[in-house]
Amino acid sequence: MAVFIGWLSLRKGFYNVDAKPSILIANGKIRREELRKNRINLPFLLSLLRLQGYANLSAVEYAILEPNGNLSVLPKSQNRPVQPKDLQINTEYEGLALPLIIDGEIQYNNLKYAKLSTDWLYQEIKKAGAPNPETIFLAELKSTGELYIDHKQKEKIMVPNIF
């Protein structure tokens, strides 16, 4: 939706710099009139909340539809995530993971960037129980040096219907 709004805003006369945010959820209650004004149905609102990391409406204090089409979510205070600094815990650097295999294809430039060899990669693949790179959907190297491997699935994974 944000991309669509962005595209529309490029069209002459569409974007209003004085546009106001719309509060869709206030004090944990859905404001149906605001949903109607913004032409948003409940399943779409729920999907926007999930995109922000909120699977349960009961955790949301405010949800604000911004003029650019994004949804800002303010959780209820008891549902805010605890931060390491809240517990006075020092953390290690956690940089970007480096994909080494994507959909069965070795990313040779990334191997070279990480100063690793294909022999090393094949050894790690075998340790993970994969016969070859073609059976791996994603293998990425974390900044800690640990290799995460997601094998290709042969059978479908069953999931519930959600709205």
pLDDT tens for residues 59-69?
999 999 999 99
Q: How many CB atoms are closer than 10 A to CB 49?
A: 20
Domain boundary among 34, 51, 79: 79
Average pLDDT over residues 5-28: 69
Q: How far is CA 56 from CA 2, 61, 63, 78, in A?
A: 22, 11, 13, 13
Q: How far is CA 52 from CA 13, 55, 73, 83, in A?
A: 30, 9, 7, 17
Average pLDDT over residues 6-25: 66
Q: Is 70 helix (H, G, I), strand (E, B) or coil?
A: coil
Is residue 156 included in any domain, yes or no? no
pLDDT at residue number 154: 74
Average pLDDT over residues 126-131: 91
Average pLDDT over residues 1-12: 57
Identify the domain containing residue 18 by its residue range.
Answer: 2-79
Residues 74 and 123 in one domain: no
Q: What is the CA radius of gyration of the chain?
A: 22
* DSSP symbol at 138: E
Q: Which two tokens stand for residue 71?
A: 């949804």
What CATH number did the domain enclosing 51 receive? Answer: 3.30.240.20
pLDDT at residue number 119: 96
> What's the chain's average pLDDT?
86
Tally the domains of the chain.
2
pTM (whole model) above 0.85: no
Residues 72 and 108 in one domain: no
Is residue 163 included in any domain, yes or no? no
Of the spans 2-11, 70-79, 154-163, which averages the highest pLDDT? 70-79
Q: Please name the helix (run of DSSP H) or strand (run of DSSP E) that holds residue 29, with its range, or none.
A: strand 29-30
pLDDT at 12 over 50: no
pLDDT at residue number 11: 53
pLDDT digits (tens, 9 = 90+) for 89-124: 998 888 888 999 999 999 999 999 999 999 999 999
Is residue 75 included in any domain, yes or no? yes
Cβ neighbors of 86 (< 8 A, separation 6 or more) are none
For residues 106 and 111, give the distance between their C-alpha atoms in angstroms, rounded to a whole number.
Answer: 8
Q: Please name the helix (run of DSSP H) or strand (run of DSSP E) that holds residue 120, with its range, or none.
A: helix 118-127
pLDDT at residue number 47: 94
